Amino acid sequence: MRIVMIGTGYVGLVSGACFADFGHQVTCIDKDAGKIAALQSGKIPIYEPGLEQLVSSNVAAGRLDFSLDLKDAVAQAETVFIAVGTPSRRGDGHADLSYVHAAAREIAENVRGFTVVITKSTVPVGTGDEVERIISETNPQADVVVASNPEFLREGAAIRDFKHPDRIVVGTEDERARKVIAEIYRPLYLNQAPIMYTGRRTAELIKYAANAFLATKITFINEIADLAERAGADVQEVARGIGLDNRIGSKFLHAGPGFGGSCFPKDTRALVKTAEDHDVPLRIVEAVLAVNDARKRAMARKVAAVFGGNLRNKTVGVLGLAFKPNTDDMREAPSIPLITALQDLGAKVKAYDPVSMEQAKLELPNVTYCENPYSCASEADALVIVTEWEQFRALDMSRLKKEMCQPIIVDLRNVYRSDEMAKHGITYVSIGRTQASEPVLAVKDV
């Protein structure tokens, strides 16, 4: 099958490389000349475990290539995926569909013969209708079916997620399109990955409902963590105790600094806006957004609480900047509002992240970037763990303690246990766990 992927970002590049690995002929297109030049010279513009090897082997096998020009590629393709960005629209939080609409126009101008156009970007319910309208208006002769195939991969585990999905959702009522999409995913079908065929609008809404539900789960456990902290309970035990119930499930019940990243914040905002347009307020999702926004700055007050609320003349080391481990993606990372708030409270901030520091410098220029966790701890009054990279799970505490001005660790991911920290003589503050070594100071006390 000849496939064109329009948009070669996290989703387009991973999907394109995986489809090529299934044996299809894939051309990945992007408007970003630097990105395409890098890919053509064998460099991968993002950090994603396993991706470099997957791309290079499929390029070498002649199944995967990269181009700035979609004209010839679209003319020859049987299937064109749209995997461009759908960021929050400035000002109102709606999904910005301008990239999707531009891609639809370009497809319409260049398409030849029967072609299935599949939206992989996360788009509000009804976008497929608009893409179809744009294509038929731009090129009334075009023989095109527009389908929806939302993507559920997670950055950091993207290839595994793509090749072993919990489900594949396909939104189309057109029999020819179903056959084409079944053929594309056939290698996964043989592995018994469930493929759910449904209506296009339903498929679009499934993606937003899934992300909003997961964001709600995170926010729920974060609020329970605040209560546990006040009431003398342990949120991790609470999460375990409820997660063992199959109706609830244990995933996405890790209390932390609030959700961020390239999807949850923008998708929950867009879903709320779509619902408003339909005159159906989604009050739970609205509350999730408000609680999560407030939480990020509250985390800085949690750090300040250790010093009586004042961070003047204090140096804080931050471990982890990316919104989660195994990615360099800084989009809406909780570290950004946290560090900004620490600076507002008077702190000098140093930081270390294994892969995202180059990206972080664009967002956070007034930070001293360090070479490793120990130089980040050097001369610091407190060390804050923000992203739970593997390499932060077994830090040499004696060495850290020697480097620091004061041995204080604020662990926003509950990587460590307070009894271990007490043994090292480290003052330890975590999320939703009140132990003897922790000050019983809640954020509201400050």
Report the residue from 58, 110, 172, 262 that binds ligand NAD according to the rule CB under 6 A. Answer: 262
Enumerate residues 6+ apart whose C-beta is below 8 A from 149. Answer: 81, 118, 119, 120, 168, 169, 170, 171, 181, 203
Contacts of 98-103 with C-beta under 8 Å, sequence gap 24+, read 99/7, 100/127, 100/131, 101/130, 101/131, 101/134, 103/6, 103/7
239 within 8 A of 254, measured Cβ to Cβ? yes
Total residues contacting ligand NAD by CB under 6 A comes to 26
Nearer to ligand NAD, 16 or 256 (CB): 16
- Footprint (CB under 6 A) of ligand NAD, residues 71-90: 83-86
Measured at CB, which residue is nearest to ligand NAD? 9
Least distance to ligand NAD, CB of residue 291, Å = 22
Least distance to ligand NAD, CB of residue 107, Å = 9
Least distance to ligand NAD, CB of residue 301, Å = 30
Nearer to ligand NAD, 30 or 226 (CB): 30
Q: Name the one range near ligand NAD by CB under 6 A: 58-66, 99-107, 359-367, 414-422.
A: 99-107
Report the residue from 1, 44, 102, 415 that binds ligand NAD according to the rule CB under 6 A. Answer: 102
Calpha distance 184→22 (Å, rounded): 8
Enumerate residues 6+ apart whose C-beta is below 8 A from 169. Answer: 148, 149, 150, 152, 196, 198, 203, 206, 207
Nearer to ligand NAD, 29 or 205 (CB): 29
Calpha distance 369→358 (Å, rounded): 9
- Footprint (CB under 6 A) of ligand NAD, residues 104-163: 121-122, 151, 153, 155
Least distance to ligand NAD, CB of residue 246, Å = 26
Q: Which of 18, 28, 263, 370 does the annotation list as catalytic? A: 263
Neighbour-count burial of 231, counting CB atoms closer than 10 A to its CB (0-12 exposed, 13-18 middle, 19+ buried): exposed
Residue 113's nearest CA partner among 93, 134, 135, 141 is: 141
Nearer to ligand NAD, 85 or 334 (CB): 85
Query: 382: which strand partners?
Result: 316
189 within 8 A of 197, measured Cβ to Cβ? no
Q: Name the one range near ligand NAD by CB under 6 A: 1-9, 53-61, 360-368, 419-427.
A: 1-9
263 is catalytic: yes
Least distance to ligand NAD, CB of residue 150, Å = 7
Residue 328's nearest CA partner among 122, 155, 84, 159 is: 155
3-state SS, residue 146: strand
Cα separation of the two ends of the chain: 61
Nearer to ligand NAD, 36 or 370 (CB): 36
Nearer to ligand NAD, 222 or 262 (CB): 262
Enumerate residues 6+ apart whose C-beta is below 8 A from 106. Answer: 6, 70, 74
Task: Please report whether residue 274 would count as binding ligand NAD according to CB under 6 A.
Answer: no
439 within 8 A of 429, measured Cβ to Cβ? yes
- Footprint (CB under 6 A) of ligand NAD, residues 2-61: 6-12, 29-32, 35
378 within 8 A of 368, measured Cβ to Cβ? no
Least distance to ligand NAD, CB of residue 52, Å = 16
Least distance to ligand NAD, CB of residue 202, Å = 17
Nearer to ligand NAD, 195 or 263 (CB): 263
- Footprint (CB under 6 A) of ligand NAD, residues 153-172: 153, 155
Calpha distance 337→295 (Å, rounded): 10
Binding site for ligand NAD (CB under 6 A): 6-12, 29-32, 35, 83-86, 99, 102-103, 121-122, 151, 153, 155, 262-263
Active site amino acids: 263
